[in-house]
């Protein structure tokens, strides 16, 4: 049993090394340009070993997305701790999302690939399905908080799934605007200020009189 456990341990370490190396290559080069020879070299294994764990480049890409995406979802849930009311947790979640992008911009590049297939080429269906799954699980967290905010009387009755998509799309569009100098100049205020104001404006538009001014005093 000890030998089996040791062999399983070696397999787990090899798989982790491959995933870590692949993440670095994918984040730097994107899916289409990523080279599995370099992934093997960086992970310290033979290229044949990479194919022993992953059927092809798309399979490896999906594994990287799933590994990172599930960790991100867990941190997203944790970001709302410390506030009892859902409307305050929504602001905390938005703040986490913004600062996670500031600290890990490469994480978002790998997800935005799905929006730029006309430029980089069509992604394998398995990759697109995995990205959609990760988007949906994060949207469900946002949707759950919105439903709680309605139940708690801070937001008026609304289609919470629709609002979740509006918030998600707005946040991503503002973050992406940072890449274009012309868009940075047009907004005339720092991205962080515009980003947090946008979230507050959307939530305030749905707020009941009980909620008061959402975000007043900070999240």
pLDDT of residue 145: 95
Q: What is the pLDDT of residues 138-192, one digit of tens each?
A: 999 999 999 999 999 999 999 999 999 999 999 988 988 887 888 888 888 999 9
Q: Do 153 and 65 have their domain in common? A: yes
DSSP helix/strand/coil, 214: coil
Q: pTM for the complete prediction?
A: 0.75
Indicate whether 70 pLDDT > 70: yes
Q: Do 44 and 97 have their domain in common? A: no
pLDDT of residue 122: 67
Residue 106 belongs to domain spanning: 59-219
CA atoms of 103 and 105, how far apart (whole Å)? 6
Q: How many domains does the chain have?
A: 2
- List of residues 6+ apart from 60 with CB closer than 8 A: 18, 19, 22, 36, 39, 50, 54
Rounded to 5 degrees, what are φ and ψ at 181? -60, -40
DSSP helix/strand/coil, 155: strand
Q: Name the β-bridge partners of 155.
A: 207
Question: What CATH number does the domain containing 13 carry?
Answer: 1.10.10.60
Rounded to 5 degrees, what are φ and ψ at 158? -160, 170
Q: Name the β-bridge partners of 207.
A: 155
Q: Evaluate whether 65 touches 159 at the Cβ level (below 8 Å).
A: no
14, 32, 54 - which closes a domain: 54
10, 33, 54 - which closes a domain: 54
For the record, the structure tokens of 110 come out as 């790998």
The DSSP symbol for 122 reads P
Q: Name the β-bridge partners of 115.
A: none
């Amino acid at each position: 049993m000890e030998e089996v456990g040791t062999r399983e341990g070696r397999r787990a370490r090899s798989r982790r090394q491959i995933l870590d190396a692949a993440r670095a290559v994918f984040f730097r080069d994107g899916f289409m340009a990523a080279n599995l020879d370099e992934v093997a070299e960086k992970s310290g294994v033979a290229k044949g070993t990479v194919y022993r764990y992953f059927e092809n480049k798309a399979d490896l890409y999906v594994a990287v997305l799933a590994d990172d995406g599930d960790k991100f979802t867990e941190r997203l849930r944790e970001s709302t701790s410390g506030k009892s009311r859902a409307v305050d947790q929504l602001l905390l979640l938005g703040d986490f999302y913004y600062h996670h992008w500031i600290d890990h911009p490469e994480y978002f590049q790998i997800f935005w690939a799905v929006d730029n297939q006309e430029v980089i080429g069509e992604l394998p269906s398995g990759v697109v399905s995995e990205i959609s799954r990760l988007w949906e699980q994060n949207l469900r967290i946002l949707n759950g908080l919105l439903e709680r905010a309605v139940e708690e009387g801070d937001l008026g009755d609304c289609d919470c799934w629709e609002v979740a998509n509006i918030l998600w799309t707005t946040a991503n569009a503002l973050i992406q605007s940072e890449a274009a100098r012309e868009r940075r100049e047009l907004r005339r205020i720092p991205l962080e200020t515009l980003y947090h104001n946008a979230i507050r404006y959307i939530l305030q538009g749905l707020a009941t009189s009980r909620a008061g001014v959402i975000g007043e005093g900070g999240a």
